A and B are shown apart, each in its own frame.
Chain A
Amino acid sequence: MKRIGVFVCHCGINIAATVDIEAVVKDLKDYPGVVFVQDYKYMCSDPGQNMIKEKIKSERLDGIVVAACSPTLHEKTFRMTVKTVDMNPYNCEIANIREQCSWVHKDKNEATPKAKLIIRSVVEKALLDEELEPVKVPVVRKALVLGGGIAGIQAALSIANSGHEVILVERQSSIGGRMAQLSETFPTLDCSQCILTPKMVDVAQHEKIRLMTYSELEDISGFVGNFKVKIRQKTRYIDWDKCTGCGLCIEKCPQKVPSEFDQELGKRKAVYTPFPQAVPNKPVIDHENCTYFKTGKCQLCKIVCPFDAVDFDEADKFIEEEVGAIVVATGYDVYPVLNMDEYGSGKLPDVIDGLTFERILSSSGPTGGEVRRPSDGKVPKEIVFIKCVGSRDPENHFPYCSKICCMYTTKHAMLYKHRVHDGQPYIFYMDVRSGGKGYEEFYQRAQEEDKVIFLRGKVSKVYQDDNKIVVCGIDTLSGTNVEIRADMVVLAMAIRPSKGVEELAQLLKIAIDQNGFLTEAHPKLRPVESLSAGIYLAGCAQAPKDIPDTVAQASAAASMVSNLFAQEYLLHEPIITGVDEDLCSGCGLCITVCPYDARILNREKSIVDVNEILCEACGACAAACPSGAAQQRNFTDKQLSNMVKAILS
């Protein structure tokens, strides 16, 4: 019989307060198979670990059971410890007497016998544990980055610079994302495109980055280190290999449509590039608005193209690739104004959102950088900014804070004042959150130098009266209701995850939280990993954040990818469910229950084969197998039955 050692941890008072450790130690000393029992205050500490190592050697133990907290916390730690003294790590088992015993009971008289039973059952498991070796999984050292905004661009550049190949997939025809739409960035008031475009060009020119714009992820299978992805390259109706980006087709196109890049304030053509600094600077044809596709007439672009690049018969292309890691950097959308009934339900042209105001401020925007209002092009002299629209509103919209609005609204008010010297900006706020570097000073500058009037309170209603927007709000600091007859109102709308993120998350099998953002593995300690190995998160797809935090997070995600690629191979848990060829009849029941497609029918031998790499050790097949041919390693039917017997004894 194996020689099992039992180590009971006090975990300070976490276990010891509710479980009588002495009684437990006494009980296990006489249990068959157990040759040594010891308790200690903090088994996971250095002295605790050293004690285990010593005793394994001195007592010639074949396996150990550590009775302590949940295995999710320290199983790895203890297994690594026993490895250092040449014990197979899979002979080290954890008996959870904390989360499943001392933390859920108050009565010592109930908790102590329960702890004894838990440990006994795990001893039974340990007695039959086999020595296992982890499965080695090869790694494809190529990364996939989904999203070509600043987060995706940064991640792609970081990974590529460490020597690995990257595929950057972006669903618009150009990379740049939201940052390309901004005019200036806080707190330095740098021109956004000026600091972004060099990075965009780097991406285009980097020999390790394969840029795929106007593309989306179609399908994915596989697992960390070995993802098989299918990317749909949407049809542009223009052969980009022939196209030089001369722009003649755009010039001649007769069809004008509202420009999404300009938040529908400006116009673009049916064949277009979203903005002048687009990368790649090659146009696409908008199928829905193109005259030729709608009526069969036109084809002007085709006629004028000197390189014969226009091809109306082009179809979507599918590209299949193998990658080892994925970074999801899909960015954000702005919550639409039409959802705000009290602010005009989106029907008032001079009540706009912050992103639209950015386009107005932008020198390459629809007003050439002059602050003019959408309805009649007049320069607004009284402009009202309202913060927290849709955010911090658990009753009607979203409970969270969108983080960036305090800063960008202050920036908007300042930029407005710099351009309209005789104008008066007002900001309605509930709080001002300016925690980043230089942010508080920026906010103070707005009040002292630019005389932005900050009114503390919400706005209950805005309505149109002649050519003014009447803003009915309150200043709680002075305790008075205030009414402003404004020329224009800018709403700081809530930041929402990009459209389509829910479907993408389902495809990737990663989680989204109750607000629609992608869930990180741990909110404090693992902010760039998703809950699925090999898939990392960066930027506003995970939660609203500003540009410095986005770049930091993207760099962190890239670093995680590099860590992954630095390993020769990945190790996969060996507690998989095998196939006993003698017992297997090839009935295939296990194949139908396997969620990972890890079992396949071997027609020649009339049995089932298991792919050890795909198997995630869920045990469904072991439960379904009628003959017992499917046995999970170290969780065999015999072990489980012995464990149950020990509990019921």
Chain B
Amino acid sequence: MQVSYYPGCTLKTNAKNFETSALAVLERLGVTARELEDWYCCGVCFSQASDNLMQQIAPIRTLVKAKESGNRQLLALCTMCFNTLKRSIEFIKADKDRLETIQEFMDREATRFYGDEVDVVDILSLIKQIGLDKLKDAIVKNGKDLKIASYYGCMLLRPKEIAIDSPDDPSIMEEIITASGCENVYFPFRTECCGSYQIVNEPDIVKTRAKKIIGSAVKNGADLMVMLCPLCYYNLDEMQLEIQKEDNTFQTIPVLYITQLLALLMELDLDIHDFSLHSVDPRPVLKRKGLL
């Protein structure tokens, strides 16, 4: 099985762990994720303004490249890219005039994009598509006493048009965790926002959110937290140390990309992980639980 793969900016730098682990896991499951030739920024934040067509050009261009690749499905690992690309498709499908105007600025592109030619897919849905039993077969290590808190963040579940699961009570990540042999820890803030891009100039917002989210996961007994968004990852990982400086009773918990966990459980090549990129070092917990 082959899908096109759109990395996005962060996946090649801060979130390298996500890319390497995800591609390795997919390969193990028999899926080739072919990186798009010649890709650009996806636009990141979907413009909520109904008259800002300029900001749609970036995502539409990406989709044109995806169409040209010949594969029906485009895997977007970064959830922000997933969200932006998928919403752009809905945006142009909703109004043909918008598409016409955007196309006028894309005369250098060889191909026209109409909206139905490419399916943007996230890694969770892709894994489910491949089959949870196939995933189960690929698991080597026993994760029975590993308690995993799954954190969804915003971009996979909102808005409703592109949500991959129920925004208040999703279960797709937990199903994957169960199939991989680990135990699920449900905590009430798993679908709440981490503070997103406010980390840049309003870090207090992120600090408050992180304290709530991490605190809740720890309280419910999680050993590890897994997620998919590089920004959520940065926010929750970085902030833990900041919070600990101010409050030494605050317990930290390692944050991993879900594909890193799966890669460890599948006993894939350890070189794909760069643990120096983590602020809260996951190695002690991983060693304790027999994953390293």
Contacts and interface: CB of A to CB of B under 8 A. Distances in A.
Q: Do chains A and B touch in the complex (CB under 8 A)?
A: yes
A341 B188 contact: no
A342 B188 CA distance: 10
Tell me what chain B mostly uses at the interface: helix, strand, loop, or mixed.
Answer: loop
A345 interface: yes
Nearest to A463: B188
B168 interface: yes
A345 B188 contact: no
B166 interface: yes
B211 to A, nearest CB: 15
Contacts of A342: 168-169
Nearest to A347: B169
A470 B168 CA distance: 15
Contacts of A470: 188
Contacts of B166: 341
Nearest to A466: B219
B169 A461 contact: no
Contacts of A345: 168-169
A465 interface: yes
Nearest to A462: B188
Interface residues of B, number: 6
Contacts of A465: 188, 219
Nearest to A470: B188
Contacts of B169: 341-342, 345
A465 B188 CA distance: 9
Interface in A347-391: none
A460 to B, nearest CB: 9
A469 to B, nearest CB: 11
Interface string B23-48: 00000000000000000000000000
Interface string A325-341: 00000000000000001
Interface in A86-128: none
A458 to B, nearest CB: 13
Nearest to A464: B188
A342 B167 CA distance: 9
Nearest to B216: A465
A463 to B, nearest CB: 3
Contacts of B219: 465
B184 to A, nearest CB: 13
Interface in B109-167: 166-167
B114 to A, nearest CB: 29
Interface in A234-250: none
Interface in B45-62: none
Interface in A455-485: 461, 463-465, 470
B215 to A, nearest CB: 11
Interface string A156-189: 0000000000000000000000000000000000
A290 B269 CA distance: 58
A464 B220 CA distance: 11
Interface string B162-192: 0000111100000000000000000010000
A345 B169 CA distance: 7
Contacts of B188: 461, 463-465, 470
Nearest to B219: A465
Contacts of B167: 341
A432 B167 CA distance: 29
Nearest to B192: A461
Nearest to A338: B169
A345 B167 CA distance: 12
Interface in A118-144: none
Interface string B241-276: 000000000000000000000000000000000000
B190 to A, nearest CB: 10
A341 B166 CA distance: 8
B171 to A, nearest CB: 10
Contacts of A464: 188
Interface in A215-273: none
Contacts of A461: 168, 188
A340 to B, nearest CB: 8
A342 B166 CA distance: 10
B283 to A, nearest CB: 31
A342 B219 CA distance: 20
Nearest to A343: B168
B209 to A, nearest CB: 14
A541 B167 CA distance: 33
Nearest to A396: B160
B80 to A, nearest CB: 24
Contacts of A463: 188
B47 to A, nearest CB: 23
A611 B166 CA distance: 56
Nearest to B166: A341
A341 B167 CA distance: 8
Nearest to B169: A341
Nearest to B171: A345
Interface string B195-239: 000000000000000000000000100000000000000000000
B70 to A, nearest CB: 39
A311 to B, nearest CB: 47
A603 to B, nearest CB: 60
A235 B91 CA distance: 58
B108 to A, nearest CB: 41
Contacts of B168: 341-342, 345, 461
A341 B169 CA distance: 5
Nearest to A395: B160
A589 to B, nearest CB: 47
A342 B169 CA distance: 7
Contacts of A341: 166-169
Interface in B91-119: none
Nearest to A340: B168
Nearest to A472: B188
A491 to B, nearest CB: 14
Nearest to A346: B169
A470 B192 CA distance: 15
A342 B157 CA distance: 14
A463 B186 CA distance: 10
A461 B192 CA distance: 11
Interface core residue of B166, B167, B168, B219 (most chain A CB under 10 Å): B168
A345 B168 CA distance: 9
A470 B220 CA distance: 15
Interface in A296-347: 341-342, 345
Interface core residue of B166, B167, B188, B219 (most chain A CB under 10 Å): B188
A489 to B, nearest CB: 14
A30 to B, nearest CB: 56
A240 B166 CA distance: 49
A612 to B, nearest CB: 56
B279 to A, nearest CB: 27
B154 to A, nearest CB: 15
Interface of A: 341-342, 345, 461, 463-465, 470
6 contacts: A341-B169, A345-B168, A461-B168, A461-B188, A464-B188, A465-B188
Given A341-B166, A461-B188, A465-B188, 11 more contacts: A341-B167, A341-B168, A341-B169, A342-B168, A342-B169, A345-B168, A345-B169, A461-B168, A463-B188, A464-B188, A465-B219
The 3 closest A-B pairs by CB, nearest first: A463-B188, A341-B168, A341-B169
